[in-house]
Amino acid sequence: MAEIKKSLKYFMRAQQPEVITVPGVDTFRDEEGNIVPLQIRVLTQEEINKINNNYRHRSIATDKKGNPLIANGEVVWKTEFDGARASRHMMVEALQYPDLKDKELMDYYKCVDVTEMPLKVFSTPSEYSQVSQIIMKALGLASEVSDEDDLEAAKN
């Protein structure tokens, strides 16, 4: 039987950042009253993993007296993950406009930590939630669920 040589060139893609423009939050409008659009850079899975790993901390699990816990002859580790902060960091990295890492914008909000910027710029819960959902959908981390789907799920 003859073996067919399969080409790998289909998997050799140019690594170009994908930037998409989506409608923004209706509370941010330009001089003409139009909603200011958001520009989102689609992060790679590698970038998302690096961000998540930056907010994951491992330490030795201890009992109430501070002694390390041992199970099956090995030290037990506990892992703590700050998911909210990691999510905000992803928002900052993904948003190209507005650039939440911009020095002028950070100075305006008196902010030194970029992970706090989404909370400052999108200060109301509805704004923050809307922008967060838009970005997570663009990154492929959230599914597109319509209000009808939510209503149908609630009925069942």
Per-residue pLDDT tens digits for 19-46: 889 988 888 888 998 999 999 999 999 9
**C-beta separation of 136 from 129 below 8 A:** no
Specify if 114 maps to a domain. yes
Question: Which range marks the domain in which residue 61 is found?
Answer: 17-143
Decide if 151 is inside a domain.
no
Q: Is residue 149 part of a domain?
A: no
- E strand or H helix that includes residue 56: strand 56-60
Q: Percent of the chain having pLDDT more than 70? A: 88
Whether the CB-CB separation of 96 and 40 falls below 8 Å is answered with yes
In a domain, 116, yes or no: yes
The answer to whether 81 touches 96, Cβ cutoff 8 Å, is no
pTM attached to this predicted model: 0.74
User: How many whole angstroms separate alpha carbon 106 and alpha carbon 92?
Assistant: 12
Dihedral angle over CA of 91, 92, 96, 100, nearest 10: 130
Report the Cα–Cα distance between both ends of the chain, in Å, rounded.
55
Region 46-67: mean pLDDT is 92
The answer to the question of residue 5 being in a domain is no
- Please give the structure tokens belonging to residue 87: 């999510």
Length of the chain: 156
* Residue 153, pLDDT score: 58
Residue with tokens 């507005």: 98
Structural domain tally of the chain?
1
Q: Give me the CATH number covering residue 29.
A: 3.30.2220.30
| Residue 63 in domain | yes
Distance CA 25, CA 122 (A): 9
In a domain, 101, yes or no: yes
Q: Is residue 6 part of a domain?
A: no
> Could you tell me the pLDDT band of residue 14, with boundaries at 50, 70 and 90?
confident
